[in-house]
Amino acid sequence: MNSIFTAYSDLHQASFPANWEICRFKDLISSSRAGVWGEEANNDDNDIICYRMADFDYPNYCLKFDNLTLRNVLPSQQENRLLHYGDLLLEKSGGGDKMPVGRVVFVNSNQPAVCSNFIQALTINDKASSRFILYLFNSIYSNRVNTLFFNQTTGIQNLQTAYYLSQEIALPPVAEQEAIAEYLDKECEKIGRNIELLERKADAYKRLRRSIINRAVTRGLNLDVPLKPSASSLTDKIPEHWNERRIKDFFIETSIKGFPKEPMLCATQSRGVIPQSMYENRVVAALTGLENMKLVEKGNFVISLRSFQGGIEYAHYRGIISAAYTILGLDGNNSKEYFRYFFKSPTLIKLMKKCVTGIREGQNINYTVLKYEKVPLPPYIEQQQIAAYLDEKCGKIDAIIEKIGTQIERLKELKRSLINEVVTGKRAIIINKPC
C-alpha cells in the first residue's frame, strides 16, 4: 500500500525525528463530513452560506469572503454539517492538470456556514494542532503525493477520501506542532507580503504597458501634431493627417473549412493563437467535426469567446479552430504588427464590450456590429513606426514583468520548501518553554 510516510521518506531521503510518532490522519479527526449543496436561496431561515472551491484563498490556506454563495439547506441537512472556526476543508472533487484536486484550507470564520458537496469538512481532535495539520496537508499537496490517491471519471478528478485519510503520517508532540504552526504562520506571512508587493509592482507595469499602447494607437508618437475631431467612439481627437475607416473596409472575414489534418489551435489572451500542444492549461481536443473547423492562416486575427475581455488575438501559426470564432484577414495596405497592438488597446477592448451578445458564459463579440465601427488609421509608414516603438517599449516592460514573475516564483518555492522542511522534521523548530 502507498503510504504518505513512505512517500515523504523517499522525497526527503531522511527519517523523521525520534520523538515523532507514526499515526494515521483519521486518528486525528473527530469529525469528517461531506458537504451539501442544497437548493437555490429562497430568502428564508434555511438560507445559509455554502463555501465552494471558488472561495478558497489557497495562497494563504484560508477562505475569502468577497463573493459568498447562499444556498437553501434544510435544518436536517445542516445538522452535523455546520462549520466551526479551525475546521479544515478538503477539496475532494474537481481539479485539473495544473491544479489537481486535494487543496486544503482553514475555516477562518465563525459565521454559520456549510460547504459544497465537492468538499469534505474535517474537525481535528486534541491529539493534533489544526494549523499544523493544515500545513502538513498542503506540503503533501505541493509534492503531489496526494495524486497517489486519485481516481478520475468523466474528466473530473476525485480524491479517494477515506483511503487518503487512512494513510500513515509522522506526527510530532502537540506542543511541537503548535510551535511549528506558529513559526510557519509568521514566516509565510512575511513571504506572502513580499509576494503581494511584487504582484502590485507587476500590475503597475502592466498598466503602464496598456497606457503606452493606448496613447500610441490613438494619438501617435508625435504629441505636437495638430489634432482634429474624431468620428470614432474610441477617442475624441486624432492627429490631423490620420484617416478613419470602418473595420470592414480593411479587414476581410474568412470562413474556410475542410482542412481536418491541420493542427488544432487555441486562442489565448496572453500568447495569441497558438497550437493546443503549446498551451499549458488542459484543452479537450476535438476528435470529430474537424472538417467543419475554420482555417486560420499565420497573420490572421481571431475573435474568440473571450475577446471582449482582453482584445482580439493574433495568429502566430496556421491551423484550424472552432467554427464559433471569427477569423479576420488584414489587407495589404496596413501593418499586421501595428494591429497586434491596436487590438489589445484598452479603448478598443472598451468598444468591443459594447458589441457583446449573449449573457454570462455565452457572451461573444457580434462582429456584424463591430465591423461597422470607425477606427483611427495612421498612414502605413507611421503604423510601422508605431509598431517598432511599441516593440521596444513593451519589450523592456515585458522583461521587467518577467523578472518580477521569476522573483515571485522563487518566493513561492521558498515557502513550499520551508513548509516541507519543517513539517517533516528536516528543520527543527526551537520550542520556547515557560520559565
pLDDT (tens digit per residue) in 320-379: 999 989 999 999 999 999 999 999 999 888 888 888 776 544 457 788 889 999 999 999
Cell match 455554502: residue? 50
On whether the CB atoms of residues 111 and 20 are closer than 8 A, the answer is no
**Closest C-alpha to 313, from 335, 344, 282:** 344
* Pairing outcome for strands 47-51 and 113-115: parallel
Q: What angle do CA 378, 343, 331 make, to 5 degrees?
A: 60
pLDDT attached to residue 95: 75
Most confident of 218-222, 274-278, 345-349: 218-222
User: Could you report how far apart the first and last alpha carbons of the chain are, in Å?
Assistant: 45
Share of the chain above pLDDT 90, in %: 73
Question: What's the CA gap between 213 and 389, in Å, rounded?
Answer: 10
Does the structure show a pLDDT above 50 at 24?
Answer: yes
Q: At residue 96, does pLDDT exceed 80?
A: no
DSSP reduced 3-state for 339: helix
Average pLDDT over residues 231-236: 87
Spatial separation of the C-alpha atoms in residues 78 and 82, rounded to whole Å: 6
Amino acid identity at 370: L
Q: What 8-state DSSP symbol labels residue 315?
A: B
- Checking if the pLDDT of 193 tops 50, the result is yes
DSSP 103-121: -EEE----S-EEE-TTEEE
Using CA atoms in the order 335, 340, 344, 348, what is the torsion angle rounded to 10 degrees? 30
Give CA 345 to chain center in angstroms: 22
Closest CA to 266 of 310, 326, 319, 312: 319
Among 11-20, 72-81, 400-409, the minimum mean pLDDT is found in 11-20
Q: Which pLDDT value is given to residue 360?
A: 47
Work out the average pLDDT over 401-423.
96
Q: Which grid cell sits at 410?
A: 522563487
pLDDT, residue 358, reads: 60
Which pLDDT belongs to residue 287?
A: 59
Band (pLDDT 50/70/90 cuts) for residue 8 is low
β-strand partners of 357: 364
C-alpha to C-alpha distance for 13 and 18, rounded to whole angstroms: 15
- What is d(CA 27, CA 18) in angstroms, rounded to the nearest whole number? 20
* More confident call, 305 vs 41: 41
Please indicate whether residue 433 or residue 297 has the higher confidence score (pLDDT): 297
d(CA 280, CA 213): 27
Interval 170-180 mean pLDDT: 95
pLDDT of residue 258: 93
d(CA 34, CA 118): 8
Q: Are strands 243-246 and 374-377 parallel, antiparallel or unpaired?
A: antiparallel
| Cell numbers representing residue 364 in the block | 461573444
pLDDT at 189: 96
Report d(CA 159, CA 149) in Å as an integer. Answer: 6
Mean pLDDT for all residues in the chain: 90
Which range, of 45-54, 94-103, 118-127, 161-170, averages the lowest pLDDT? 94-103
SS3 label, residue 236: coil
With a cut of 90, say whether residue 307 has pLDDT above it: no
Report all structural domains of the chain as residue ranges with CATH numbers, in order of start.
Answer: 4-172 (3.90.220.20), 225-378 (3.90.220.20)
pLDDT of residue 186: 96
- Among residues of the chain, what percentage have pLDDT more than 70? 91
Q: In the predicted model, what is the mean pLDDT of residues 122-129? A: 97
